[in-house]
Structure formats: structure tokens, C-alpha cells
Amino acid sequence: MSVVVTLKINDIDVSGQEDETILDVAREHDIYIPTMCHLDGLSSVGACRLCLVEVKGMNRLVTACTVKVAEGMEVYTETERLKKYRRMLVEMLFSEGNHICSVCVVNGRCELQSMAGRVGVQHITLPYYNPLRTLDTTHERFVIDRNRCILCTRCVRVCDEIEGAHTWDLGGRGIESHVVTDLNTFWGDSPTCTGCSKCVHVCPTGALFEKGRSVTEMTKHREFLPYLTMMREKK
């Protein structure tokens, strides 16, 4: 049986189960912590680093989605240091990809775009990397535009942990990292893809979208998201 622990978040007394993360407890008490890679029902990987928080007594920042709460812990989520880091992280996501919002299928419905507004990024101060990334249109229903991918790995995790297909994975290293299908084959040639579209609809940007969608037309249908935890438990 899980033990209840008490802690402070932004000097507010809160409580949670010892097997819960800082993010879990914060959300239970309506305390906002930004995330991009996290989705309830999927494993937490701390890939985007936007949920970084300060914990008293720790010299380094920690990811709220992966660190468990502990008795007496004191957590801070909105310090100037954190705000600076989050702005820098969002800028890096824009500068390391090719995100041209005005010609994107999810313009106005993009989580990265919304996060930029939330953390105060109005323009990019970092140099653009302008990588040469591929676009795969071989699937009969969907497209992947790696120029807009932020490596959140939501598609990888939902395909593996919920659909059970493991069509998606990561290839390359460092700045050359990118999502691949079935050992780097074309998506249309995938022997494992079930065409369920879960990967498309959990993608936070316009990296995965349905064919036939033009600028601003793609709406991600996420009605199934509240059931991710249930689906994972039934596997």
C-alpha cells in the first residue's frame, strides 16, 4: 500500500502518494508545470526538459515528470532561473528544426506554438540550424515531416505501449537524431504499422498529419487520450 507524504510546492503545503511524481502531485493541486513530451498513460522520459523544477537541497534542476515526491521535499516551479531555462529550451526547439508556422497544417493548433506564447518566446535569439530533414509521404493515409519533429517520442511510446506495434523508434545521434519506421524503411513499406493513427493524433506539432490537409486544417483528435492509462493497464 502506498504511503502518503507531505511536501511543499511553491511554499504551498500539499500531499501525495510516495509512488507519484512531482508533476502528478502538482497537477492534483492545480499547480501548472509546462510539458511537451509527457502524456498521461504513457511512460515518462523527460525528453523535452520543460518540466524542470528546483528542489531545495539539490544543486541540479530535476524533471518533474520522472522524479518521485518525498517527505519534506520543497519544490519550486516558477523561479526566474526556470523561466529563463524554459524560454531557452523552446527557442532551441525552434532553432534546431524547420518550424515555419505560417505554412504548417497545425498552425493555431500546435502545442509548440502555444508553449512559445506561454513562456514568452516572441522571437528566436539563437542561430537557426536549418537541418536537411526528410519528408515521407509513402503511407496511403499519413505523412511525416521530420522538419517539424521535436523528438518528444510520443509517437514511439504510444505505438509501442498502447498499440503494441513498435513501428516507430529513434535513429541517429545528437543533433542528427530522428524518428524512423521499422529500421529506417519507408512508412508506406512498414510491415508493422496498423494504420491506427494514434501516433498522428498524439504528435504535438505538424510532424505527423493526415494526407489532404492544407495550412491550418489539421485538427488532432485526442478523445482517446483519457483512456491511455486504461488501455495500457489492459495490455
Note whether 178 and 187 are within 8 A (CB).
no
DSSP 27-40: HHTT-----SS--T
CATH number of residue 30's parent domain: 3.10.20.740
Identify the band that residue 227 occupies on the pLDDT scale cut at 50, 70 and 90: confident
Top-confidence residue, 221 or 1: 221
**Helix residue spans in the chain (DSSP H):** 22-28, 80-95, 111-119, 154-157, 198-202, 228-234
174 and 209 belong to one structural domain: yes
pLDDT the model gives residue 234: 61
Instruction: Tell whether 131 is covered by a domain.
Output: yes
Among 124-133, 149-158, 184-193, which is the least confidently predicted range? Answer: 124-133
- Range 137-140, long-range pairs (CB < 8 A, 24+ positions): 137/211, 138/186, 138/187, 138/188, 138/189, 139/187, 139/188, 139/190, 139/193, 139/211, 140/188, 140/211
pLDDT the model gives residue 232: 67
Q: Is 229's pLDDT higher than 80?
A: no
Identify the band that residue 235 occupies on the pLDDT scale cut at 50, 70 and 90: low
185 and 114 belong to one structural domain: yes
157 and 73 belong to one structural domain: no
74 and 105 belong to one structural domain: no
187 and 228 belong to one structural domain: yes
The total of structural domains in the chain comes to 2
Q: Which domain holds residue 9?
A: 4-78
Neighbours of 162 (CB within 10 A): 23
In angstroms, the CA 211 to CA 105 distance is: 10
Instruction: Tell whether 96 is covered by a domain.
Output: no
Q: Which amino acid is at 105?
A: V
223 and 124 belong to one structural domain: yes
158 DSSP assignment? I
Instruction: Tell whether 121 is covered by a domain.
Output: yes
107 and 203 belong to one structural domain: yes
37 and 118 belong to one structural domain: no
Identify the band that residue 192 occupies on the pLDDT scale cut at 50, 70 and 90: very high
128 and 228 belong to one structural domain: yes
Instruction: Tell whether 87 is covered by a domain.
Output: no
pLDDT the model gives residue 16: 96
Q: Give me the torsion for CA of 68, 224, 235, 39, rounded to 10°.
A: -20
pLDDT the model gives residue 187: 98
Instruction: Tell whether 183 is covered by a domain.
Output: yes
pLDDT the model gives residue 1: 66
38 and 106 belong to one structural domain: no
Q: For the residues 96-123, what does the mean pLDDT come to?
A: 95
67 and 178 belong to one structural domain: no
Q: Is 150's pLDDT higher than 90?
A: yes
pLDDT the model gives residue 223: 80
Q: Is 222's pLDDT higher than 70?
A: yes
Q: Is 159's pLDDT higher than 70?
A: yes
Residue 198 CB burial class (10 angstroms; 0-12, 13-18, ≥19): buried
Write the CB contacts of 32 (distance below 8 Å, at least 6 apart in sequence).
Answer: 26, 77
Instruction: Tell whether 93 is covered by a domain.
Output: no
123 and 216 belong to one structural domain: yes
Identify the band that residue 25 occupies on the pLDDT scale cut at 50, 70 and 90: very high
CATH number of residue 106's parent domain: 3.30.70.20
In angstroms, the CA 194 to CA 46 distance is: 27
Distance of CA 164 to the CA centre of its chain: 20
Instruction: Tell whether 83 is covered by a domain.
Output: no
Q: Tens of pLDDT along 80-95? A: 999 999 999 999 999 9
pLDDT the model gives residue 74: 98
Mean pLDDT of the chain: 94
